[in-house]
Structure 1
Amino acid sequence: MSEFLLIKSAALDFSIQWICWAIAACRRTEKFYDLAGSLTFILLSLLSLKWGDNFYHRQKIQTAFICIWALRLGSYLFFRIMSEGSDHRFDRVRDHPLKFLLYWTIQGVWVFVTLLPTLILNFKKEDQPLSVTDYFGWTLWTVGFLLETVADWQKFRFRSDTSNKGRFIRSGLWNISRHPNYFGEILLWLGLFISASSVMNGKEYLSVLSPVCVAFLIIRVSGIPILEKSAFKRWGTSPAYAEYVQSTAVLIPFIW
């Protein structure tokens, strides 16, 4: 039954992304790309809880955490793109429907793989008492969520100050990491996998792909590499920026 429900979840996930792609391609806009991804997280989390039809405390807490994260990040990203008008990630693809489709398909993969531990958890028929593993996982989620939220808020405040136009942020959490929000993102998904793993067995542990995939995308693909390249183009000749890069961790505060 759980395999069928996983397939059902994947089918709904990709259907949403491809329908949204069709609308976005016709309108040549990426303005609701991130919002669609966040809402898909919420929908699949809630539906998986309903389809599993158990509503154990662990399942409800895990689902609530994902909804809180998705509402916060989705609304922040939507507000940001509406304010800025566009997302430079899509400059070369928004006018090319098939290339644009690839981005929406990748988002579908990201949503499903990232949610996999929670989907497995919510489809479980048997339950286990809450343990240290659960509380440790939820603690990691809390720390990660706070890091991401505070870092985004600090950057938003910095950019909103017109006196900072053309400058890079290095205050608050950005003084101890060049990408504190991404570190928080990795931590929170690692925490949710750890909590869900308390009721896993056998091949279900392969859902560790969730935090691994998140970390890989951030560190090697669409997160840090793109932002570091963009920052170097803007401030690469600045001695202040060179000093900031040399003295500040890339991701993990004070370490790397």
Structure 2
Amino acid sequence: MSHLMEALVDWFASRGTLSKLAIVDFGVQWAAFSVASVFKTEKFYDLTGSCTFLLVAYLAYKWHNIGHPRQLIQTGCVSMWALRLGLYLFTRILKDGKDRRFDKMRGDPMKFFNAWTLQGVWVFVTILPSLLAILSPRQRPLSTRDYVGWGIWLTGYLIEVVADYQKSSFRNNPANKDKFINTGLWALSRHPNYFGEIMLWFGLYISASSTFSGWEYLTILCPLLDYFLITRVSGIPLLERYARKKWGLLQQYQEYVEKTPVLIPFLS
């Protein structure tokens, strides 16, 4: 009976922490929206999302750290990804001047608010498996599952970093103005950066699942939702439409699309 009561106390404690972290998550988005709406700018939209990942992961670790290496490594993986991507996207938008995703909503307060709110949903859903692992009061010893998950995360992280670096270098070369990239990792996939991102979140789910029991395994829906959003909603579809509009009549681009997988390298 004492073990059951202890388990119930732990369960309610973690649920309470998740609620507080959700409040922090959406509070950050709505506070940032209030500033962005006044200036009608999306320049710190992605940076805010990345900073929210960092903050939520840090608070979860600070509030529930019991000294287990899994908690530190899982927090570190989320933080490394968020810090790198946030700075990359912020630097890019400062150079480009705008994000064309917001062209039709920048002047519409309700649509703009919805975009910030959806970012809050995306942050919380994406990080949820890792939060459950960090918050777990009973950390099992590190196992093969942890190392496999972190190995997949590292592979995906490196793919995303290299792909972003290659594309930035390509765009920074004046000789490539108005051209599309089809070299490096971009010769293997039309969206290798997204492939890396999807891969790393599945990896973190696997390592996090070392602490799971019962319903927590259902958080596999979190990386699956990321995959859906990237491949069906706001990622690849928007970029593919833009590319077809800009280069669709070029023979070279048509050949590139025909021979290069849209996402997973070597998988047509």
Q: TM-score, normalised by structure 1?
A: 0.99
Shift of 1:253: 0.2
- Is 1:59 the counterpart of 2:88 in the alignment? no
Shift of 1:232: 0.1
Contact conserved, 1:45 with 1:66, CA < 8 A, in 2? yes
Corresponding residue for 2:26? 14
Corresponding residue for 1:229? 241
Uncovered stretches (5+) of structure 2, i.e. residues with no partner: 1-12
- Is 1:110 the counterpart of 2:110 in the alignment? no
Contact conserved, 2:61 with 2:134, CA < 8 A, in 1? yes
Contact conserved, 1:144 with 1:188, CA < 8 A, in 2? yes
Matched residues in 1 for 2:19 and 2:218: separation?
Answer: 16
Residues 52-131 of structure 1 mapped to structure 2, 5 A cutoff? 52-131=64-143
Contact conserved, 1:49 with 1:55, CA < 8 A, in 2? no
Contact conserved, 2:231 with 2:237, CA < 8 A, in 1? yes
- Is 1:155 the counterpart of 2:158 in the alignment? no
Shift of 1:55: 3.1
Corresponding residue for 1:24? 36
Corresponding residue for 1:199? 211
Uncovered stretches (5+) of structure 1, i.e. residues with no partner: none
Q: Could you list the runs of 4 or more consecutive aligned residues of structure 1 that deviate by over 6 angstroms after TM superposition?
A: none
User: CA-to-partner distance for each residue in 1:160-191, whole Å, 9 max, x for gaps?
Assistant: 00000011000000000000000000000000
User: CA-to-partner distance for each residue in 1:51-102, whole Å, 9 max, x for gaps?
Assistant: 1131310010010011110110000000000000000000111111111000
Aligned-partner residue type, residue 168 of structure 2: F
Corresponding residue for 2:53? 41
Aligned-partner residue type, residue 139 of structure 1: G
Matched residues in 2 for 1:181 and 1:205: separation?
Answer: 27
Query: What SS does the corresponding residue of 1:120 show, helix, strand or coil?
Result: helix
Corresponding residue for 2:225? 213
The percent of aligned pairs where both chains have the same amino acid is: 54
Corresponding residue for 1:186? 198
| RMSD between superposed Cα atoms in Å | 0.7
Matched residues in 2 for 1:21 and 1:200: separation?
Answer: 35
Corresponding residue for 1:172? 184
Number of positions where the alignment pairs a residue of Structure 1 with one of Structure 2:
256
Aligned-partner residue type, residue 172 of structure 2: S
* Structure having the higher Rg: 2
Matched residues in 2 for 1:128 and 1:230: separation?
Answer: 47
Shift of 1:123: 1.1
- Is 1:252 the counterpart of 2:235 in the alignment? no
Contact conserved, 1:114 with 1:209, CA < 8 A, in 2? no
Corresponding residue for 2:4? none
Q: TM-score, normalised by structure 2?
A: 0.94
